[in-house]
Amino acid sequence: MKGLAKFLSALFHPLLIAFYSVLIYINIKPFSRIYSAWDKTVILLIVLLFTLIVPLEIFWIGYKNGQISDSNVSKKEQRTVIYIVCLLSYTICLLSVKRFLFMYFFMYLFLCPVLSIIFLMIINIWWKISAHACGMGILCGVVFSSAVFMHATPVLLFPAVILIAGAVMTARLYLQAHTLSQVVAGFFVGLMFSLLPLILMNNE
């Protein structure tokens, strides 16, 4: 059971959520028709580079030098550095793929992780909120937003993402990485920022 919990935590690590979110959107109509296979490949490679590889490299350097005590970054003080690195890396990523994101809606969506990282970084000063749960909240909001804005019908995708979110959050509790309140708060923070495009577009 512990092995499964670790596997789910790794497969749906917060650093992978931006990649999964972009992967969903560029394969849902009308984006699946707008972008060529080459454009999709370039976008996904840029996203992987700046939202996964760069932060992982910085994390590994910190871990090797003893600045990060464990792979879960259990100490909230150490998480602040990781959040700053992710914030800078995600911002560079957004600027790098800007020419592909010609629709404001897509721009809003990519800002979700950036805004959530800023919020988590502030909250982290006092409380170690769950970044895994936050990522799951973002992913659920991404799928919901796709149904609203792009008239997509993710009949299987939406319940699948809900089940995955529940499994990942349960895994974090099982591994005793967070308390229930930290996991629930993280999920709703992610959901809130992922639904921000919906609120902004409805107010225009």
For the chain, the domains span: 2-202
Q: What is the DSSP letter of 196?
A: H
Contact 26, 43 (CB under 8 A): yes
Q: What is the DSSP letter of 47?
A: H
| Per-residue tokens: 7 | 């596997």
pLDDT given at position 47: 84
Residues in the chain with pLDDT < 50?
none
How far apart are the C-alpha atoms of 146 and 130, rounded to whole Å?
25
Q: Which tens digit of pLDDT belongs to each residue from 55-67?
A: 888 888 877 877 7
Q: Which tens digit of pLDDT belongs to each residue from 123-161?
A: 777 888 888 898 899 888 888 877 766 666 566 778 888
pLDDT given at position 105: 58
pLDDT given at position 100: 62
pLDDT given at position 165: 92
Helix axes 104-123, 131-149, angle to 10 degrees: 160
Matching residue, tokens 């709703």:
188
- Using CB atoms within 10 A of its CB, is residue 153 exposed (0-12), middle (13-18) or buried (19+)? exposed
The pTM for the full model equals 0.80
pLDDT given at position 124: 73
